[in-house]
Structure 1
Amino acid sequence: MIAILLGAIAASPWMRAALRYGAIALAVLLFLLSLRRFGERAGRLTERLETTEKAYDVQRQMLEAAARRPRDRDELVDRLRDGGF
């Protein structure tokens, strides 16, 4: 029954053209939607990368500060006397 109905619809040249253009429009719409999803995903990945870079930068600064700290009390006293802090 459905095959007969589709055969009758596809028999008309106008309906074939409408189906063809409808299929093209659907394909373009699906492509644009997938492109939008890809853009959103890329934006989220970029944001995650920026956040990770900031965290690594803060961690690097903390490690550099730890490397410059006084090793013992004598070095701390020397720095305080020299005004190195």
Structure 2
Amino acid sequence: MIGGLLTGIATSQWMRAALRYGAIALAVLLFLFSLRRSGERAGRLAERLETTEKANDVQRQMLDAAARRPRDRSELAERLRDGHF
């Protein structure tokens, strides 16, 4: 019974065209959803990369500051006297 109904629907020229356009519309819709999802994923990855770069920059600044620090108390006192600190 169902097979006969589907055969009747599939034989109609208008129904075949409607099914074809419906399938195309569904494929386009699924493709757009996929694009949206991949765009969101790319945005999250870009945000994570930016955050990592900022953290690395701060860490690099801290390492540079640590490399320039006085080695002992006498070097600290000497820098303070010279006004280079």
Do the structures match in fold with TM over 0.5? yes
Structure 2 counterpart of 1:37: 37
Matches within 5 A, 1:2-81: 2-81=2-81
Amino acid across the alignment from 2:30: L
Distance 2:6 2:70 in 1: 85
Number of matched residues?
A: 85
Amino acid across the alignment from 1:57: D
Specify every segment of 5 or more residues in structure 1 that has no aligned partner in the other structure, as ranges.
Answer: none
RMSD (Å) for aligned C-alpha atoms: 0.9
TM-score by length of structure 1 reads 0.95
SS at match of 1:70: coil
Q: Percent identity?
A: 82
